[in-house]
Homo-oligomer: A and B are copies of this chain.
Amino acid sequence: MTQLIQARKGIITKEMRKAAERERLDPEMIRRGIAAGVIVLPANINHKNLQPLAIGRGTRVKVNANIGTSPDYPQAGELLQKLEQAIAAGADAVMDLSTGPNIAQIRRQVLAASPLMVGTVPIYQAAAEALDRYGAIVQMTVDDLFRTIEEHARDGVDFITVHCGITRQIVQNLQKRRRTIDIVSRGGALLVGWMLYHERENPLYEYFDRLLEIAVEYDVTLSLGDGMRPGCLADATDDAQIQELLILGQLVERARARGVQVMVEGPGHVPLNQIQTNVEIQKSLCRGAPFYVLGPLVTDIAPGYDHIVAAIGGALAAWAGADFLCYVTPAEHLGLPDAKDVREGIIASRIAAHAADIARGLPGALDWDLKMARARKALDWQTQIKFAVDPERAKAVRREKNPGERQECSMCGQFCAMKIVAEALGSEQFPGC
């Protein structure tokens, strides 16, 4: 029985209890959210070492890190280093998006090593294998695709991205009305290529029930992919995107009816002033399903700094109600991220998520900031470093820029406002942070 089916029966599972405990939330609140479909708890019955977390209404905004090999960087060792980095940097989830060789073997290594929930995009493997087997991605059969999906489910993958919402109708519309950048979703592009070649409907849409049967058996959470997500500001919130979202909303209902947990993926490249609208239209059309956004990126012009661009959009999206942020690294649009990029991306997303938690009034979110503020006033560097989102970085910068380790820092030295004011107004002592 999936978490959703159990939640509807009024059962608080041990996963719900654990997830509630990790956020100091009421397990009954989690159960009710799952039953209503506004919370998902991705926890494949075969992912044995998972530390479960809930995603959705009333919970902390979560952060996902995409890791994976690529044909140019096929080493499993590097991938596992990125997984370690993701865990250390405080990600809540990882997606193994490997497209290099030995995808299945690598996935099993990731699952074995990851206490974080693990997501995948099965069509990457199906496409890579079709290329090997038949010499062309479009020769992939419907059975190949579903066999791969079932393999991922059986291996213990907690959530899978499936681009079920790209219908023939949408592709025909796209042919008539081209976009500035038509499609930037890899999975979306693979499917569209297949659909046009075979002149057939999207198998993930046509055989959605087959997908649901796999998902319900292993309790795989479906992450309905947005193959039509805008890949530049000029394409944001356009017909193609909203047509797909309408389909995704209908699929959310069908998944829930079958007892399958489901969340919905969102853009992409979106200007600041359209982010709230994007979140609200998703929440409305997709019946409150948790919203998993990639970015959003609020400008197209900053390759090398897209983790910052995504932090701006992610903070705003999460404040408006997005539940799950897919990180973007400084390598985005330029190449495959390395372990250092993974860290930068996760910290940027965690900052965005936390800023949104505060803005949303998540109970307890502001306590963290208060501890930091008090340590700052007291010029207590040890406590400041302890409570930094990345203590290692804070410690290194502090040390590098303050060789003597005096009490004030090298920005102001004897002109330190904290010291001057403490002398002028008298200092208050705070009980240990």
Contacts and interface: CB of A to CB of B under 8 A. Distances in A.
A423 interface: yes
Interface string A324-347: 000000111111101000000001
Contact of A311 (B308, B373, B420): B308
Given A351-B299, A351-B312, A355-B299, A181 B376 contact: yes
Contacts of A142: none
A411 B271 CA distance: 24
Given A178-B428, A307-B308, A413-B71, A189 B271 contact: no
Q: How large is the interface on A (under 10, 10 to 19, 20 to 34, 35 or more residues)?
A: 35 or more
Interface in A283-337: 298-305, 307-309, 311-312, 315-316, 319, 330-336
A420 B189 contact: yes
Given A333-B376, A388-B301, A425-B178, A351 B412 contact: no
B402 A335 contact: yes
Contact of A335 (B311, B352, B368, B400): B400
A369 interface: yes
Q: Is the interface of A mostly helix, strand, loop or mixed?
A: helix
Contact of A397 (B301, B335, B384): B335
Number of copies: 2
A401 interface: yes
A242 interface: no
A278 to B, nearest CB: 13
Contacts of A170: none
A231 interface: yes
Nearest to A187: B417
Interface in A380-433: 384-385, 387-390, 393-394, 396-398, 400-402, 404, 409-418, 420-421, 423-425, 428
A188 interface: yes
Nearest to A68: B411
Given A315-B312, A359-B273, A387-B301, A234 B373 contact: yes
A388 B193 contact: no
A184 B379 CA distance: 12
